[in-house]
Amino acid sequence: MDRPASRPLAVVTPRYATRLSLALAALTLLPTAGCLHMLLATGIYMFQGGNIKDAEYEGFKKKTVVVFCSQPVSQEFRHAGASRQISQRVSELLEEHLTKKQKIKVVPQRKVDAWIDENDSDDYLELAKAVKADMVLYIDLAHFDLMPGQTVYQGSSDITLKVHDMTTGGNIVWSKPLGEILYPLNAPIAAQSKSPSTFQTEYVNVLAMAIGKHFYPHDPTADFAMDALANR
C-alpha cells in the first residue's frame, strides 16, 4: 500500500529568514513597556515588507540647496540656538538621503552661520545668492516651546515650509504648512527626567524628521513609538 505523500516543509526564503531573525532578536527588548512599543512598530514594518511613501517634493535633484530656519527674536532668547539646530539637522537628513540618489549638494551650515553673523541679517534670499545656492528650503518657525508648565516637557511648534527656486529669481515653487507638532504627542513628561538641553535636542530631531520626510522616500509608521522614546 502506497504511503500518502508527505506535505512539504515550508520554504523559508532568505528575505523572510532575515525578518524572522530580526523579530526574534527584538524579543529581547520586551522587559520594558517602551521597548514593547518599539517592537510593535518594528514588527509591523518588517512583516509588511516596509511601507515606503514617496517624497512630496522632488525638485532638489542635481541642485545646490541651502536650509534656513527662522523664528521670532523673542523665542530665540528663550530657546538659544533652536533654529540653527533645526537647520543643521534638516541639512544632515537631506545629505543622508539625497546626496547619492539625487546628486544634490547641501550648503554646510557653518557657511550659513558665518554669513548671518557677518551680515547681521536674516534675508535668506540674499544668503542663497551669497552661497550660490540653486534652491532654498525655508523653515518658518512661527512658534517653538519646550515646557507647557514649570515641571513638565512637551515640545510644541508651528512650522510652515517653503521652497524657493533661485534660478527663477527666488520664486516659491512649493510650500506646505505643517501646523502644530507636539512631542510627546499624548502626554507631557516630567522635567526632572532629563536636562532642558537633552530634551531640546530630542525635540529638534523630531521636528527635523517631520520636515525632512517631505523631500525623500520614508516610512510613514516611523513615528509610531515616539512617545515611548520620549520616556526613555
Question: Model confidence over 23-76: pLDDT tens digits?
Answer: 444 444 444 333 443 444 444 444 444 588 999 999 999 999 999 999 887 776
- Upper half-sphere CA count for residue 141 (Cβ side, 13 Å): 28
Q: What is the pLDDT of residue 79?
A: 74
**pLDDT given for residue 72 in this prediction:** 80
Predicted local distance difference test score (pLDDT) of residue 135: 98
- 176 sits in the region (left: phi over 0; alpha: psi -120 to 50; else beta) called beta
- The order of strands in the sheet holding 64-70 is 105-106, 64-70, 135-145, 155-165, 171-183
Give the other-Cβ count within 10 Å of 80's Cβ.
12
Alpha helix segments (H runs only) across the chain: 14-26, 33-47, 73-78, 82-98, 109-119, 124-130, 196-212, 226-230
User: All domains of the chain, ordered by start, with CATH?
Assistant: 14-47 (no CATH), 64-219 (3.40.50.10610)
Closest C-alpha to 60, from 108, 100, 98, 112: 98
Kindly indicate the confidence band of residue 224, based on its pLDDT and cuts at 50, 70 and 90.
low
Half-sphere exposure of 212 (CA within 13 A, CB side): 22
pLDDT at 8: 42
